[in-house]
Amino acid sequence: MTRLSVNLNKIAVLRNSRGGAEPDMLRAARTCLDAGAHGLTLHPRPDARHARADDVIALAALAGERGVELNLEGNPFAAPRPGYPGFIALCRAVRPAQATLVPDDDGQITSDHGFDFERDRDRLAPLVAELRGLGCRVSLFADAGSAVESAADAGADRIEIYTGPFADAHASGDATAALAACADTARRARAAGLGVNAGHDLSQSNLRDFLAAVPSVEEVSIGHALVSEALYDGLSTTVGRYLALL
Ligand SMILES: CC(=O)[C@@H](O)[C@H](O)COP(=O)(O)O
Ligand SMILES: NCC(=O)COP(=O)(O)O
């Protein structure tokens, strides 16, 4: 069965836009878990524009209380700075069940590519070993078609297929080639002994088609679309509640 890990970055974006405490990321996390979500994901970025280091600590505590997995995502090579101790330091502090390494550049609006495993394997290997030593399962963000065999050589447990290009192709009406590339990458990853996760821009409109073509995905992490869809689903109830107050 594919497990759903809800990415809470977008709740933090909304909260940070006013500088206060609402919407409360932990309340949103509890709501997701009460609804049956299997895990929680957070992707703190060095500029702290959404999830901050204190959010990581708080969410890890909640995940521990609720007995669910925290999937912490980030770039292990990004330099620490005030307010951001670095991805590996955060993993040392909270020991997430899963650490997903993502090669984001500074200032990137969102994740838009996976690792070049042939180039990055040797510098990833010691980090993967350290994270596994902390008890984390380690997943590496991977483009469909990339050299995932080298991700296995770096010691990773899983890859996360970057599904942004698939989502774009799906939205434009023909995802055949993108799906074939994802399915082939998943097959090669499994043959190399890796588990397969997937994420980025997955949504209610494309998830079924993705999982039908790429079976046995162990986990999908979904945030942007899920939070957007939750707004649509919740708005009429909420407007009704305000009208009842008038
Ligand atoms: C690795 C990945 O695809 C997600 O973590 C996604 O990048 C979410 O990050 P943002 O919420 O910052 O867009
Ligand atoms: N790893 C992908 C993730 O956590 C969520 O990505 P998105 O759904 O916000 O695009």
**Which atom from ligand 1 is nearest to the alpha carbon of 10?**
11
Query: Is 201 marked as a binding-site residue?
Result: yes
Whole-number pLDDT of residue 215: 86
**Residues whose beta carbon lies within 6 Å of some atom of ligand 2:** 7, 41, 43, 73, 160, 199-202, 221-225
ipTM surpasses cut 0.95: yes
Q: How close is the Cα of 4 to the center of ligand 1, in Å?
A: 15
Whole-number pLDDT of residue 108: 87
Whole-number pLDDT of residue 65: 98
Scanning the chain, the segments in alpha helix (DSSP H) are 9-18, 25-34, 53-66, 87-94, 117-133, 148-153, 164-171, 176-191, 207-213, 224-245
Ligand 2 pocket test, pick from 2, 38, 43 with the greatest ligand atom count within 8 Å of Cβ, gives 43
Report residue 129 as tokens.
Answer: 């070993």
Identity of the residue numbered 14: L
Q: Whose CA is nearest to atom 4 of ligand 2?
A: 221
Residue 95 region, left (φ>0) first, then alpha (ψ -120 to 50), else beta?
A: left
Query: What pLDDT tens digit does each residue of the chain (246 aa) get?
Result: 999 999 999 999 999 999 999 999 999 999 999 999 999 999 999 999 999 999 999 999 999 999 999 999 999 999 999 999 999 999 999 999 999 999 998 788 999 999 999 999 999 999 999 999 999 999 999 999 999 999 999 999 999 999 999 999 999 999 999 999 999 999 999 999 999 999 999 999 999 999 999 989 999 999 999 999 999 999 999 999 999 999
Is pTM beyond 0.95? Reply is: yes
Q: Give the architecture-level CATH label for domain 3-245.
A: Alpha-Beta Barrel (3.20)
CA angle (195 as vertex; 173, 133 as ends), nearest 5: 135
State the catalytic residues: 43, 73, 200
